[in-house]
Structure formats: structure tokens, C-alpha cells
Structure 1
Amino acid sequence: MGLLDSVLGSVLGGQQPLQAGQGGGLSGLLGTLFSNPQLLQVLTGLLANNGSQGGLGGLMAKFQQAGLGEVVASWIGSGQNQPISGNQLTDVLGSDVMADLAAKLGTNSGEAAGQLSQVLPGLIDQLTPSGQVPQEGLGNAGELMGMLGGLLARR
């Protein structure tokens, strides 16, 4: 049992996560994440302050540099989330980063980009309920896992 499994166990408090595809909205999103620890680990690495992309602020800067600042802003704001394609997400992160993420997910870059493009908008939306990025970011990986546990408790 790895560190991530231990963290997930404590976040879930012994309850079984929803399976991918069960329920919609927040429940469906969290079910997808908690049933796929590799995806959760990759997303935590993207969004955590101590992650590879410099946290949510660093990720936002990459979106702005790629001309997609309004897309990520829609995920943070209180309006409808704009979709992003796997190809657009690869453009934002770069093909080398996407290849690394795909290896962590045990899939190819196209499938990894597709998976991430499906869950990233909703996850960022849920982690920024006030419609703003917290000044201190979303925290380190451990703090981010705690936030996800809090979201799970609200479902």
C-alpha cells in the first residue's frame, strides 16, 4: 500500500468511493478521481503549490500564455465552465509534460489529455467555490488532498 493509498484511505474515512460514472456533478467527479488514484495523483501534481506546474497560479499562467486564459478563468468564476479539448490541454502543458503525465497514468498522451480535459474544469471549479483563486494557492499536495476530502464530505 503506497502513500497515496494511505492518504486516500484517511480522506475517505473508510467509506468506499463512488465508481467512475456513478452519479453526476460533484459526486461523479469525486467518484472518478477516487476510483483512479493515478489520475488523482496527476491532478494533485498539477494543482498543488509544490507540484510540477507551480500550483493553480502556474497553471493559469500557462493557459494565458497559450491564449486560453478565458477558459481557465471560466472554471474559477461562478459562470458556466468552458470546455477544453485534449489537444488544447496538450498545447497548454506541452507535449513533454503530457507524455510524462500519460506515463504516470499508464496510457498514451492522447488518452491522458482526454481524461484530464474531462475532469480538470470541474475539479478547479469545485476547488475555487468563491470564484477566486486563494491568494496562497490551493496548498501543497497534502492540503489539496484535505480539500478533496472536504468536497467528498459535502456530497
Structure 2
Amino acid sequence: MSLFDQLGSLLGGESGGVSGAVAALMEQNGGLAGLLEKFNSGGMGELVSSWVGSGSNLPVSAEQIQQLLGSEQLGALAQQFGLGPQQLSQGLADYLPQAVDKLTPDGQLPQGGDLLSQGLGLLQGFFNKS
């Protein structure tokens, strides 16, 4: 089962498409570290630092997501997961800060081991809470 299938199975319905898109973005960018580097190089380092670090998460807008990913990548992801580009960019804006926060519980990227398994375990605990 691929990462986006596993993440998608943690959530139902529309959010599953967004979680799948997050997983696909990680796969396309070399994991969580690669995805965060894409945000850093896109001028959003302050946002990423707040998501990874302890404390509150700064929000990201759907427009910032669109600017970072570009219409071609966003459109391809939206089509792959059965969402409209605007719906996906808003979903990513809502979901990414929380997902990154949960994938970095100690305020830094996990070191060593299987980051995919660690991340999936953390996300599963996050989304299975009542």
C-alpha cells in the first residue's frame, strides 16, 4: 500500500483526498524534509518553522499553496484525488500545518529509522482521537 493510500485510509471522504495529496507531495519531494525544504525555498520558512517547532502553528493560505505548487502540479494532484484545484489548495492550507506539527512532535524532524512508519503512526494517533 502506498503512502497516500495509507494516509487516505486514516481519514474518510474529502479529507482522505487531501491527506492523499499530502502523502503524494511528500513522495514527490523526497519525504517530509523535502516538502518542508520546498516551502523554505518558496519563502515560507517562518511558516514551516512554526509547524515544526513547539508552540502555535502559523496559518498558510490557499493562495500561498497555489503559488508554491503552481497550477500544473496543483491541477494534477487535484485530478488524481478527485478534487477541484481550489478545494485541494484550501484543504492543504487547512491540513498541512497540523500534519507537519504531528509529524514533528519533538519540534524537529525525526532522525533515523523509517520516517514513513513514524509519520504514519503519529498521524494515525492524531486522527483517531475523539
TM-score greater than 0.5 by the shorter chain: yes
CA distance, structure 1, for counterparts of residue 120 and residue 64 of structure 2: 26
CA distance, structure 1, for counterparts of residue 18 and residue 88 of structure 2: 9
Moved over 6 A (4+): none
| Residue equivalent to 1:56 | 32
* Structure 2 counterpart of 1:149, from 105, 124, 128: 124
* Structure 2 counterpart of 1:38, from 17, 20, 32: 17
User: Is the 2:62–2:89 contact (alpha carbons within 8 Å) kept by the matching residues of 1?
Assistant: yes
Alignment of 1:71-82 (within 5 A): 71-82=47-58
User: Is the 1:62–1:93 contact (alpha carbons within 8 Å) kept by the matching residues of 2?
Assistant: no
| Residue equivalent to 1:21 | none
Q: Which structure's CA Rg is the greater one? A: 1
User: Is the 1:77–1:132 contact (alpha carbons within 8 Å) kept by the matching residues of 2?
Assistant: yes
Structure 1 unaligned regions, length at least 5: 9-32
Measure how far apart 1:35 and its partner are.
Answer: 1.5
Q: 90-99 vs 79-88, which deviates more?
A: 90-99
Identity %: 34
CA distance, structure 2, for counterparts of residue 73 and residue 150 of structure 1: 23
User: Is the 1:55–1:137 contact (alpha carbons within 8 Å) kept by the matching residues of 2?
Assistant: no
Deviations 1:58-82 (A, max 9, x none): 1121112111111111011112111
Equivalenced residue count is 125
Determine helix, strand or coil for the equivalent of 1:84.
coil
Structure 2 unaligned regions, length at least 5: none
CA distance, structure 2, for counterparts of residue 121 and residue 112 of structure 1: 15
The structure with the largest helix share of the pair is 2
Alignment of 1:1-150 (within 5 A): 4=5, 8=9, 34-36=11-13, 37-47=16-26, 51-136=27-112, 139-140=115-116, 144-150=119-125
Deviations 1:15-51 (A, max 9, x none): xxxxxxxxxxxxxxxxxx611332222222223xxx1
CA distance, structure 2, for counterparts of residue 130 and residue 139 of structure 1: 14
From the superposition, tell whether residues 123 and 65 of structure 1 become closer, same or farther in structure 2 (CA, over 3 Å).
same
TM-score w.r.t. length of structure 2: 0.79
User: Is the 1:56–1:137 contact (alpha carbons within 8 Å) kept by the matching residues of 2?
Assistant: no
